[in-house]
Structure 1
Amino acid sequence: MTDALVLIDPAASTVEVSDLGAPHLPVTDLSAHRGDGIFETVLVRLGGSDVTVVNRNRHFTRFCSSASALGLPEPDPDLWDRALETVIAEVRAADPSSTEFGVRYALSRGTQNPDGSQSPRGWAFNVPVDDTITRARAQGISAVSLDRGYDAYLGSKAPWLLIGAKTLSYAVNQAAGRYAAEQGADEALFVSHDGIVLEGPTSNLIIRRGDRLLTPAPEAGLLSGTTQRLVFDHAAELGLTAEYADFGLSEVIDADGAWYVSSMRTAVTLNQLDGNPIKRDEDLTARLQTLIMAG
């Protein structure tokens, strides 16, 4: 896939196509050495002249909420729409056969100026739907549970922890993924210190119990998922109800089906947790994937 990058200047309201392989961030940018910024990733699906940006509005709404949590300037929807559309146009022009890819867009606090002010900067670029993603969609994944290190619902008492914001500080999430791989699993599943199931490092968890879909409440200490909310909004079309609930690891293992849901992977079956097999629901998996991809 051809790489496409646009640089976004929030102060000047400009979008500029650039070379992804060229240097762009100064080492003094606060995203580079503090992770002080936010991001979102959307799935883009192409079919002829049709373009579907899956969950576009939910992603941007969460982007704005993350900006507010970090005290960043409120993102201008027209500016960020232009950036997204520019990346899509660049990819389509370079490779008209493209049918599916992601676009990741980010806003950094930027560089600290001598007068104490800051110069936020943004960027957006395309990311591929690679073999790891397509294999997970088809075959499912395994996971190991990891203690997140804090009790559930801590975020309501400690908002400075930014538990509900999608920040660029993803070192812990990446470390969890590496640890899971070292244990022979595909993914991690975070659990609060007091035993409440939370989320994967880059995904939300949904389980099925009879005719109910259940997912942990964001207030318990996890990121509110755009894909999870899309599924819940359309649960009735699947003949199911949907609700937020606290549950533990045993309830995941004993579920009638479990899925990791996220923008790029859509819905992937959780086949095994801590070595324990979980029931698979192939029909519902296919329906979830179709539902999500329709956006």
Structure 2
Amino acid sequence: MTDALVLIDPAASTVEAADLDAPQLPVTDLSAHRGDGIFETVLVRLDDADVTVVSRERHFARFGASASALGLPDPDPELWNRALEAVIAKVRAADPLNTEFGVRYACSRGSQNPDGSQSPRGWAFNVPVDGKITRARTQGISAVSLDRGYDAYLGSKAPWLLIGAKTLSYAVNQAAGRYAAEQGADEALFVSHDGVVLEGPTSNLIIRRGERLLTPNPEAGLLSGTTQRLVFDHAGELGLTAEYADFGLGDVIAADGAWYVSSMRTAVTLNQLDGNPIARDEELTSKLQRVIMAG
């Protein structure tokens, strides 16, 4: 897959093509040693001349909310959409047969200037839909539960923890994934210290209980999911209702179906949690994937 990278200067409102294999980021950039920045990843699907950027507006709205939470400049939709389109155009030109890939875009606070100010910088590049993703879509995944280390709804009392912002500081998320793999599982499932189910390290959880779809309340201490909200918007078309709720691990295990939903994986079945099997709903899984891929 051809690599495409563009660099974004928010102050100058410019987008410039760059070489992904060449050095671009100075070590003084605050994203490099503090994770001080924000990002989003969108799924791009191509069908002949049609291009679908799944949940484009939802992703950008969350990008703007994350920028506000970190005190970064309000991102200009025209500038960032121009960067997104530039990456898509390069990938399409290099490989016309490529029908699905992701684009990750990010904004860093930048480096510290001599006068104490910062100059935010941004970038966007393509990421592949690899074999791990496609296998998860068809086979599902297993997960182990992990204590997130704080009580539910802590973010309302401590907004500086940035619990609802999608930042570049993903060390804990990566560590959770590695720990899950060491336990023989595909994924982790974060649970608040007082027992409320939250989310996966890079995805939201949706469960089915009868004719209801349930997902944890973002205010409980998790990232509001663009893919989860897309599913909820279409729940009625699937003959289901959708609601936010607090629930525990036992509710997940006893559910009529459970899914991890995210931009790149779309909807994947959670087959097993902490060694306990969970009912599979293959028909609904296919419907959820189609709804998400349609954008």
Question: Normalising to structure 1: TM-score of the pair?
Answer: 1.00
Aligned to 1:32: 32
The structural deviation recorded for 1:261 is 0.1
| Cα distance in structure 2, aligned partners of 1:97 and 1:256 | 38
Secondary structure, in 3 states, of the residue corresponding to 1:228? helix
Aligned to 2:291: 291
Secondary structure, in 3 states, of the residue corresponding to 2:164? coil
Aligned to 2:197: 197
Alignment of 1:240-251 (within 5 A): 240-251=240-251
The structural deviation recorded for 1:18 is 0.5
C-alpha deviations, 1:258-281, integer Å up to 9, x for none? 000000000000000000000000
Question: Normalising to structure 2: TM-score of the pair?
Answer: 1.00
Aligned to 1:278: 278
| Cα distance in structure 1, aligned partners of 2:25 and 2:119 | 12
Aligned to 1:214: 214
| Cα distance in structure 2, aligned partners of 1:75 and 1:289 | 30
| Cα distance in structure 1, aligned partners of 2:221 and 2:269 | 23
Aligned to 2:264: 264
Matched, 1:41 2:41: yes
Runs (5+) with no aligned partner, structure 2: none
Q: Which amino acid aligns with 1:196?
A: V
Matched, 1:16 2:11: no
Aligned to 1:103: 103
| Cα distance in structure 2, aligned partners of 1:49 and 1:19 | 27
Secondary structure, in 3 states, of the residue corresponding to 1:214? strand
Matched, 1:119 2:157: no
Aligned to 2:93: 93
| Cα distance in structure 2, aligned partners of 1:74 and 1:24 | 23
Aligned to 1:131: 131
The structural deviation recorded for 1:238 is 0.3
Matched, 1:74 2:68: no
Secondary structure, in 3 states, of the residue corresponding to 2:288? helix
Q: Which amino acid aligns with 1:117?
A: S
Q: Which amino acid aligns with 1:41?
A: T
Runs (4+) of structure 1 exceeding 6 A deviation are none
Secondary structure, in 3 states, of the residue corresponding to 2:287? helix
Secondary structure, in 3 states, of the residue corresponding to 1:112? coil
Aligned to 1:254: 254
Q: Which amino acid aligns with 2:5?
A: L
The structural deviation recorded for 1:158 is 0.2
Aligned to 2:3: 3
C-alpha deviations, 1:64-100, integer Å up to 9, x for none? 0000000000000000000000000000011111100
Aligned residues: 295
Runs (5+) with no aligned partner, structure 1: none
Secondary structure, in 3 states, of the residue corresponding to 2:105? strand
Q: Which amino acid aligns with 2:198?
A: L
The structural deviation recorded for 1:194 is 0.1
Matched, 1:145 2:145: yes
| Cα distance in structure 2, aligned partners of 1:177 and 1:109 | 27
Secondary structure, in 3 states, of the residue corresponding to 1:78? helix
| Cα distance in structure 1, aligned partners of 2:98 and 2:39 | 24
| Cα distance in structure 2, aligned partners of 1:195 and 1:157 | 18
| Cα distance in structure 2, aligned partners of 1:22 and 1:48 | 32
Secondary structure, in 3 states, of the residue corresponding to 1:169? coil
| Cα distance in structure 2, aligned partners of 1:292 and 1:77 | 23
| Cα distance in structure 2, aligned partners of 1:286 and 1:233 | 17
Secondary structure, in 3 states, of the residue corresponding to 1:145? strand
